[in-house]
Amino acid sequence: MSFTLYGIPNCDTVKKARTWLADNGHDFAFHDFNKQGLSRDLVAGWLGQLDWEVLVNRKGTTWRNLPDERKAQITDKDSALELMLENPSVIKRPVLQGVGPVSVGFSADAYTAKFQDAA
């Protein structure tokens, strides 16, 4: 099974997901979206499966550091897409693609269930 984990390497949640995947014998590609970027088509695909409010991390530092005027402009899928392409670190991490539906965030229980369902 081929799948990709998207995130940034210094994010604690991404580190936990990567460790869980490795410890459970899952080969995966890691895509650092700050260094490797994200395509419009990729993010639009995520938004086709997940609500933009799930993908935009409004609790994170990147969101908090945005000017209030910019935050107020994020009102729908299209404006969220533009924000995520401008500031990939505003995306809730990690994003796991290729094992069932796209998922965001990490918990050992959720990953266990996701991989059992995909088997």
Question: Would you say the C-alpha torsion 117, 15, 98, 27 has a positive or negative sign?
Answer: negative
pLDDT score for 117: 79
- Active-site residue, from 5, 7, 8, 11: 11
CB-based contact 88:34 (threshold 8 Å): yes
pLDDT score for 119: 66
Return the amino acid letter for 111: Y
* Domains located in the chain, CATH noted: 32-118 (3.40.30.10)
Q: State yes or no: is 11 an active-site residue.
A: yes
Q: Could you list the pLDDT tens digit for every one of the 119 residues in the chain?
A: 679 999 999 999 999 999 999 999 999 999 999 899 999 999 999 999 999 999 999 999 999 999 999 999 999 999 999 999 999 999 999 999 998 899 999 999 999 999 887 76
Which residue spans within the chain are E strands per DSSP? 4-7, 29-32, 95-97, 103-104
